[in-house]
Amino acid sequence: MNNNSKVLTINSGNIKINNLTIKNCLGSEAIFNDGELTISNSKFINNSGATGVIRNYDGNLTIINSTLNNNKALSGGIIHNYYGGNAKIINSQFNNNYALTADAIYNNGLLTVKNSTFTDNYGANAGGAIRTFNSLLNNIINCTFNNNTSPSGGAISSLESNLNISKSVFNNNVANYGGAIESNVTDFNITQSSLNNNSAINGGAIYLSNDENYYTEYAKINNNNFTENKAKNGSVLSSSIENVEFYNNTLKGNIVLNNSVDTDTKTLWVGTKGTFEVDQTMEGLIQGYESGFITFGDAMIADMVNSYISRKNTFLNNNPTFTIQEVTTYTSESHQIEIENDEGLKSKNNIIYYTNNTYDIISENMKTDFIKNNTLINKTIKTNTKITVSTVHAIIGNSMTLTAKVTDANNNPVTNGYVIFKLNSITIKDNKKLTGSSNALKVYVNNGVASTTVTADLNMRYAQNLTAVYSGSSTYNASRSNNAKAQISQRNASIVVTSNVKTIKQGQTLTITARVYDTTDGKRSTTLIPYEDEFVYFKVNGITLKDSKGNMQKVKPVNGTATIKYTIPLGLSGVTDGKTFNVKNHTILAGYYNKNYQAEVRNTSTFQVERSNITITITNATVNNKTHKLSLTATIKDYLGNKVLGPNKCVVKVNGATLKNGTQPIYYFASNGVLELKDISIPAYNNYNSIEVVTQDRLSYKSQRNTTNNIKVVGNVKTTSKTYDVSDFDTLHSALTSSQYKDVIVNLKSNIKLKGNTELNTGIKTLNINGNRKSIDGDNKYQFLDIESQANVTIKNIKINNCNSSYGGAIYSVGNLAIKNTTLKNNIAKYYGGAIYNFKGNVTIINSTLNNNIANERGATIENWEGIMTISNSQFSNNIAVVGGAIENRGTLTMTNTTLNNNTAKTDGGANQDGGAIQNSGTLTITNCLLSNNHAYTCGGAISNRYGNSTINNSTLNNNEAEYGGAIFNYEGNISIKNSTLNNNTVSGDEYARGGAIASSGKLTINNSTLNNNQAYDGGAIYYDYADLYINTCTFKNNYALHTGGTVYNSANNSILKNNTFINNRAEFGGAIYNAGNNVNISNSSFTSNIADISGAIDNEGNNLKIIKSRFTNNQAQYAGAIRSLECNNINITDNVFKCNKADDPDSTEVVEMDSSNVTIKNNTGDTTSKYYQTIYLLDMTGTVANNKFIDLN
């Protein structure tokens, strides 16, 4: 689960959950219950929540036969039962859980726990396993608590609550107060239970407190077994309450540890007045380490405030018997050991061990035969030890150092013996692993330290506790360490998925490669920690790739690489939708599975699928001329000859006219590539000349149409013509929509305001509209003309204004359209083509003006979609669109003697606002045109060429502006510029403002052109990063780059610059040229008066550079007056002339500064002056410098 993931919220109702596993949840609780919830046979593993894993707010919660392991809570417990809640826990296990407030269970309501086990849990505040606060009733029945830890109440802490415990076992629990149980409750009752080997500072087994806020009214501790519990004060019980009933308990081997033998070292410690009823047989061990007195009565029971525990009233004449089995001392001083018998008490069989010291046995108030019944024995005493370990952190596959410190009772280093280390109570074996051997790893102690290094592996992944056991020796007692935190983390990895191609066709095979890297140490490595079941899986568009059996295809990486073949399904989409036809990116996902590494190792990439061309074959076209019915079969196939998949929406045209129902086209649907039409109604014609089937663009297939003339028909259609003189909309609309005449002429006699849209009747084959300088006004609502047929339409001498439509604000055409001497102004398209949308038709525009038109998406005046368009002697100005401020061309566009001025590709918040004047992805030819003062918010102030082919001849592109490519932007297309001028163009913005005149990532050729006064951050005139740059006989003057390349920034390979002139250009690096590409040839060129901070003319960081037969004059820089080459290979500077170049820094060079290898500098001539430090400065250069002649002018 992800961060803040909550699996289930129950506000009411009765819910039962069975066989559920919830793991790795982070954030809030996994389950919130305010209803009736029963959970059985379920697992909760590795969850971490601010309020625990399960929060029972005001509901009834029952948990049966379930396991909660390795969970964490920041407040509350792993299960938090609120004040209004009633929780029952039955036959369940709680292991290795951790909480700040309480551990496994935090209870404020009613709680019953039966037949359950709590092991290795930790509560940072109180209650290692269970904490109750302000709760009415808590019943703990037949439960086991092992190895739980907390500062108060190693297993259970109960505050201001009623607590009943019966038939339960408490083993090896640890706390500061109450090794097993801490209680300051209203009523406390424990019976028929066993408390063994628990330890604390106060109350080794039980701690009962009575403070000013919370107190226990009455405690009953009856019929229990207390064995080998340990504490400094009260190894069995430490109590400061008034009323305690302590009957029929068995106490054996409970140990009081203290450095001072005084009245605080007791098996039973009482700290308040009241009645403390005792009826017991006690066996205990008291160990003292300094001089002092041990008295019989004080050794077992401490009366701190003269309560009724003393003398007769203490024991209520129950005649208890006390036996002190051992009293041992370790100091060299003389001791007095007093064994005092009180009335009604018996002292017998006491053995006092000593170590060659002198003892006085004082026999005060003793019965007879004391000395006979009590014996002194000389004994060799081993020194007690303490062993500690600290928190360890490690990563799987990396080394982990385990260190234990072993000291004696006086904190002196232990000098012998060995240590065994354990993770989660599992011994580390002699092979330094948790498995694979039956022998423990023995790490020998040296000067109090035992240390070893192991390699963390997957078996150690879930370790949470590190402990160590000291073996002991002939002089030292064995000891066991504290629980230290162990954290073994998985390694980090990354995965990179790629495909052999980015664009592919349906039915072809895509090769997908995933490369997995280990990134644990901050560096990428293909060396991975192996795991038997490691694999890489792949998904395409969220669907897992599977094998022939339908199972996930798991690819095992070899040297970190996994490869799979994926066949592109037929019919897979190529575009996102049928409105914008934006190319669709299909997602590839690769994921890496290896338990040694963190989960969710994933990466994605994309590929694109070409839409398939299709063909339509029409057969069996039959017309019943009597009934005017049509039958036919059309077959639609993809580029491979397969029938296309899914439905195709088709229209049918008879004699060029679309079949309609009223004014709406009738759509016919082909299923899986077959269109069957049977006796459909068609208009009556004298002659049936053609039948056409047209299908629209689909997500996976391109549009297509086909016409057949092979028709069985009867009768002929008369052809007639008609001329209309039009003065109103109704007459105009009737003339254009009538099917009565084949050839129509319309003469406008007055200005007309449209009252609706008009679709040209398909029966009209030729239409001539003579506007006579009159106007058509669309009233900002209507489109002037929709040409849906292959008609020949000519519009001349007319003003078309204020039209509005989704596609083609004024005109939509699929036919042959000629526009002459016409103005189209203030027209708007919601989507494409503010004035004209040409869909696969032919359009000619002559001597016309298109101003102030708007398209909200593409093509402010014209959208040319796979059509053919010719424009001459026309003007486009003040038009606005997001893409293509004047024109968007996706077909073939030829433009001559035309001006495009002050057009804008505006911003809409999207990624691209391209082509201030023209956006081209087809074929564009511009001759003798002027493109000036156009603006694009992103790319190509005048022209954006994406994937297209553009040719620019004898044209001027001045004063255009964009963020990238002030005049021209080229992306993976081809641009040829000849005999043209690109001046005063600008890019503005940050360090991505590149290419003052041209920014190109496609093929670029420039001949006989001038590029002056352009500005950018990089590449004042040209920024180029593709391949095959060719610049010939061009002039670059007064261009400026803020950073690199005053005229040209080149990072492409295979570039040729020849016969060019560079004058007065400026940059920080490379006043004329900055080159980072390889295989660059510069020849027969002139560099004059160029200025830079570094490299006045050329700054080079690419390999295989040739500069030959060129002239460098008056270039200037702080360093390297003419040329600098930095850390490159294969540099050839030959047959050049260097005159009056200057480096301002006296430690630099006037001509060439070279820090490269395999360099040839020869046959160069020029001048030098003693004013400067040196002509050629060679730094760490290898190569040849020969036959250069420089004349000292001084």
Q: What is the structure's pLDDT at 708?
A: 92
DSSP one-letter string for 812-847: EESSEEEEES-EEES-EEEEE-SSEEEES-EEEEES
Q: What is the structure's pLDDT at 231?
A: 83
Q: What is the structure's pLDDT at 740?
A: 80
Strand partners of residue 671: 647, 674
Min mean pLDDT across 15-24, 224-233, 783-792 is at 224-233
Mean pLDDT of the chain: 84
Q: Is the pLDDT of residue 866 over 70?
A: yes
Residue 124, classed as helix, strand or coil, is coil
Taking only the tens place, the pLDDT of each residue in 733-747 is 999 998 888 899 999
Residue 916's CB: how many other CB atoms inside 10 A? 38
Min mean pLDDT across 345-349, 484-488, 542-546, 1059-1063 is at 345-349
Q: What is the structure's pLDDT at 347?
A: 38
Average pLDDT over residues 787-804: 93
User: What one-character DSSP code corresponds to residue 656?
Assistant: T
Report how far apart, in Å, the C-alpha atoms of 384 and of each of 283, 405, 408, 471, 475 are: 22, 14, 6, 12, 9
Backbone angles phi, psi at 500, to 5 degrees: -70, -25
Q: Does residue 1054 contact residue 1070 with C-beta atoms inside 8 Å?
A: no
Q: Is the pLDDT of residue 348 over 80?
A: no
Strands (E), 308-364: 321-328, 335-338, 346-347, 351-354, 359-362
Q: Is the pLDDT of residue 252 over 90?
A: no
Q: Is the pLDDT of residue 819 over 70?
A: yes
Is the model more confident about 257 or about 358? 257
Report how far apart, in Å, the C-alpha atoms of 828 and of each of 371, 573, 733, 1109 are: 121, 31, 21, 56
Report how far apart, in Å, the C-alpha atoms of 1135 and of each of 1083, 1112, 1154, 1184 are: 10, 12, 17, 14
**Which residues does 763 contact at the CB level (< 8 Å), separation at least 6?**
655, 656, 657, 738, 739, 740, 741, 742
Residue whose token pair is 């009645």: 275
Q: Is the pLDDT of residue 922 over 90?
A: yes
Instruction: Find how far residue 447's CA is from the centre of its chain.
Output: 50
Count how many Cα atoms sit within 13 Å of the Cα of residue 318 in the half-sphere of its side chain. 17
Q: Is 695 left (phi over 0), alpha (psi -120 to 50) or beta?
A: beta
Q: Does residue 622 contact residue 678 with C-beta atoms inside 8 Å?
A: no
Residues comprising the chain, all counted: 1194
Q: Is the pLDDT of residue 275 over 70?
A: no
β-pair type (60-64, 36-40): parallel
Confidence label for 247 from pLDDT (cuts 50, 70 and 90): confident
Q: Which 3-state string (H, E, C) describes 47-99?
A: CEECCCCEEECCCEEEEECCEEECCEECCCCCEEECCCCEEEEECCEEECCEE
Residue whose token pair is 């024991």: 315
Q: Is the pLDDT of residue 725 over 80?
A: yes
End-to-end CA distance of the chain: 81
Q: Whole-structure pTM over 0.85, yes or no?
A: no
Taking only the tens place, the pLDDT of each residue in 632-644 is 999 999 999 999 9
Confidence label for 27 from pLDDT (cuts 50, 70 and 90): low
Give me the percent of the chain exceeding a pLDDT of 70: 84
Q: d(Cα 419, Cα 402) in Å, to the nearest integer?
A: 11
Q: Does residue 736 contact residue 748 with C-beta atoms inside 8 Å?
A: no
Q: What is the structure's pLDDT at 1192?
A: 61
Taking only the tens place, the pLDDT of each residue in 149-163 is 999 999 999 888 889
Instruction: Find how far residue 1153's CA is from the centre of its chain.
Output: 46
Tokens representing residue 730 in the block: 């109704």
User: What one-character DSSP code corresponds to residue 545?
Assistant: P
Residue 345, classed as helix, strand or coil, is coil
Average pLDDT over residues 723-731: 94
Average pLDDT over residues 86-91: 96
Q: Is the pLDDT of residue 858 over 60?
A: yes
Helical residues (DSSP H) of 247-404, grouped into ranges:
296-300, 311-315, 370-373
Q: What's the one-letter identity of residue 302?
A: A
Is the model more confident about 279 or about 82? 82
- Of 840, 850, 923, 921, nearest to 880 by C-alpha is 850
Q: What is the structure's pLDDT at 281?
A: 40
Q: d(Cα 995, Cα 984) in Å, to the nearest integer?
A: 12
Average pLDDT over residues 389-397: 94
Q: Is the pLDDT of residue 337 over 90?
A: no
Report how far apart, in Å, the C-alpha atoms of 227 and of each of 222, 300, 328 are: 15, 15, 20
Query: Highest mean pLDDT range out of 213-227, 1075-1089, 1122-1136, 1154-1168?
Result: 1075-1089
Confidence label for 318 from pLDDT (cuts 50, 70 and 90): very low
Is the model more confident about 11 or about 1101? 1101
Residue 361's CB: how many other CB atoms inside 10 A? 15
- Of 207, 167, 173, 171, nearest to 188 by C-alpha is 207
Confidence label for 283 from pLDDT (cuts 50, 70 and 90): very low
Q: d(Cα 1108, Cα 1132) in Å, to the nearest integer?
A: 8
Confidence label for 303 from pLDDT (cuts 50, 70 and 90): very low
Confidence label for 290 from pLDDT (cuts 50, 70 and 90): very low
User: Can you count the helices (H) and strands (E) in the chain?
Assistant: 4, 134
Min mean pLDDT across 366-375, 401-410, 615-624, 821-830 is at 366-375
Q: What is the structure's pLDDT at 806?
A: 95
Q: Is the pLDDT of residue 74 over 90?
A: no
Q: Is the pLDDT of residue 325 over 50?
A: no
Q: Does residue 737 contact residue 759 with C-beta atoms inside 8 Å?
A: yes
Average pLDDT over residues 662-678: 93
Q: What is the structure's pLDDT at 1032?
A: 98
Q: What is the structure's pLDDT at 714?
A: 55
Q: What is the structure's pLDDT at 421?
A: 96
Burial 569-578 (b: 16+ CB within 10 A, else e): eebbbbbeee
User: What one-character DSSP code corresponds to residue 580?
Assistant: T
β-pair type (93-95, 426-427): unpaired
Min mean pLDDT across 52-56, 259-263, 676-680, 1083-1087 is at 259-263
Taking only the tens place, the pLDDT of each residue in 955-981 is 999 999 999 999 999 999 999 999 999
Q: d(Cα 708, Cα 674) in Å, to the nearest integer?
A: 16
Confidence label for 1184 from pLDDT (cuts 50, 70 and 90): confident
Give me the percent of the chain exceeding a pLDDT of 90: 63
Residue 1124, classed as helix, strand or coil, is strand
Q: Does residue 860 contact residue 834 with C-beta atoms inside 8 Å?
A: yes
Q: Does residue 82 contact residue 107 with C-beta atoms inside 8 Å?
A: no
Min mean pLDDT across 75-79, 228-232, 931-935, 1101-1105 is at 75-79
